[in-house]
A and B are shown apart, each in its own frame.
Chain A
């Protein structure tokens, strides 16, 4: 189709759109052939510019209503194909990790809005200023032994990209956001019913704001450095034997159930006593999209670090840490 494209058509088209250079304008206006072609293009453009029959008012209302409803139920794009192929994921404790991320993906954005004015929220995590000092800290941490590997599963879904650009604004108020402990206390009055504490205050390797990265591989490297000093079992704080159990069916099925379905087809982990500790978490921008990084610990291990897109719940295993 494009083989027969007349070379001067681009010139004429640009002229029509007022995008031609002075020399191009002169060339078009001095050529009867090009001016004739311009007439044809004008006709085409006028046809295209004809208004479309507007939608009926009820149709518009319906479209808007549906769109607004969707914002409450969340689109659930879970891209875990790579993760599901790994036998490690089939272990029960990983169910706990997935549950924790699902919980965070739902709870943190909601609770952030709940406690916008809660300037006295628990600030046990590292200061957000680490974002500026992060390079030095990572560098220092990287000098220690890093047992963690970063088997990164790429996020294959681009649906968020289609929603436009990204922003760092969403993280600017992170210092005011509650920790999971405070958040959970608030959340138990709403839809969430998980047991405290979700975070272990003695284990706090992550700043609340990680350095924005362009991809998950870079994020994995960053997390790996931050966790390097915790890579041996001896360095871990004592586990909270009572903490972190998640009752999945208390979480909005909009995100959780689909995640479970994709991750563990046929599995029923609802109401499971998963006996795990969400050791720490942080938010980070990856290529402009906000992610939650969850460090999930079971007993004296850090079995995994997961990253979940806060908007889509798309989740990947970021690091598998074997002390």
Chain B
């Protein structure tokens, strides 16, 4: 599940692997500080989410080679190289591309809700934010996703500017 979270949040295999590696290292090193006040899974998701967000911040400071090539044409139609089953759903919607336009905070909340299935209280624990903020972030993330799916998406060339 940690890899799945990282794959969805980071949006690509390489960053997901890096983030997963960092998350596992943090979990191993931080085990002695796990105090049992939260469920272990919640704690591990927090570690993983933070690792993913860190990886994305590192990535934002690097060039993005291949972005244009990967997203030529309709950015929300799966590429021929797609391996993720989610990229082959009937609607042919590229989940990664759709997620990429979301601010990372919204993305994390949406992933934790829709992929992991956590409730708002659990997501609040993972992200260390108020439940009300969780509700807002998920709603805003879905709202944006709905725009994308309905065809009112941000052009790919603008996507980097949409990142916080």
| Inter-subunit contact A9/B140 (CB<8 Å) | yes
Which residues of A, 1-22, contact B by the 8 Å Cβ criterion?
1-2, 5-6, 9-10, 12-14, 16-19
Contact A169 B84 (CB under 8 A): no
Is chain B's binding surface mostly helix, strand, loop or mixed? helix
- Kindly list chain B residues whose C-beta atoms are within 8 Å of the C-beta of A290: 33
In the complex, how many angstroms separate the beta carbon of A287 from the nearest chain B beta carbon?
Answer: 11
Question: Which chain A positions have C-beta within 8 A of B129?
Answer: none
Q: Tell whether, in the assembled complex, residue B135 and residue A44 are in contact, meaning their CB atoms are under 8 Å apart.
A: no
Question: Which B residues from 35 to 55 make CB contacts under 8 A with A?
Answer: 35-38, 43, 46-47, 50-51, 54
Question: Is A288 in contact with B103, judged by CB distance below 8 angstroms?
Answer: no
User: Cβ of A64: which chain B residues have Cβ within 8 Å of it?
Assistant: 24
Assess whether B91 is interfacial by the CB under 8 Å rule: yes
Interface pair B149/A43, CB less than 8 Å apart: yes
What distance in Å separates the Cβ of B73 from its nearest Cβ neighbour in chain A? 19
In the complex, residue of chain B having the shortest beta-carbon distance to the beta carbon of A6: B143
Contacts of B43 in A (CB 8 A): 164-165
User: Does A63 touch B at the CB level, under 8 Å?
Assistant: yes
For chain A, give the interface size range: 35 or more
B80-133 CB contacts (< 8 Å) to partner A: 83-86, 89, 91, 93, 95, 98-99, 101, 103, 110-111, 113-115, 117, 119-120
Interface with B: A48-56, A241-249, A291-299, which one? A48-56
Name which of A63, A75, A164 has the most chain B CB atoms within 10 A of its CB: A164
Least CB separation from B87: chain A residue: A50
B67 within 8 A of A: no
With a cutoff of 8 Å between Cβ atoms, the chain B residues found around residue A19 in the complex are 119-120, 135
- Are B86 and A51 in contact, CB atoms less than 8 angstroms apart? yes
In the assembled complex, the Cα of A17 lies from the Cα of B7 at a distance in Å of 23
By the criterion CB–CB under 8 Å, are A165 and B34 in contact?
yes
A234 neighbours in B (Cβ, 8 Å)? none
Contacts of A74 in B (CB 8 A): 29
Contacts of A190 in B (CB 8 A): none
Q: Which residues of chain A have C-beta atoms less than 8 A from B110's C-beta?
A: 48
List residues of chain A with CB within 8 A of the CB of B79: none
Known A59-B17, A165-B37; contact A48-B111, beta-carbon cutoff 8 A: yes
Across the interface, name the chain B residue whose C-beta is closest to A72: B28
Chain A nearest Cβ from B78, distance in angstroms: 11
Interface of chain B residues 3 through 44 with chain A (CB within 8 A): 3-4, 7-8, 17, 20-21, 24-30, 32-38, 43
Which 10 A-B pairs have CB atoms at the shortest separation, nearest pair first? Answer: A163-B30, A167-B35, A50-B86, A48-B114, A13-B139, A67-B24, A10-B139, A162-B50, A44-B145, A52-B4
User: What would be 15 A-B contacts, judged by CB atoms less than 8 Å apart?
Assistant: A5-B143, A9-B139, A13-B135, A17-B113, A17-B119, A47-B145, A48-B110, A48-B115, A51-B86, A52-B115, A53-B84, A74-B29, A162-B54, A163-B47, A164-B34
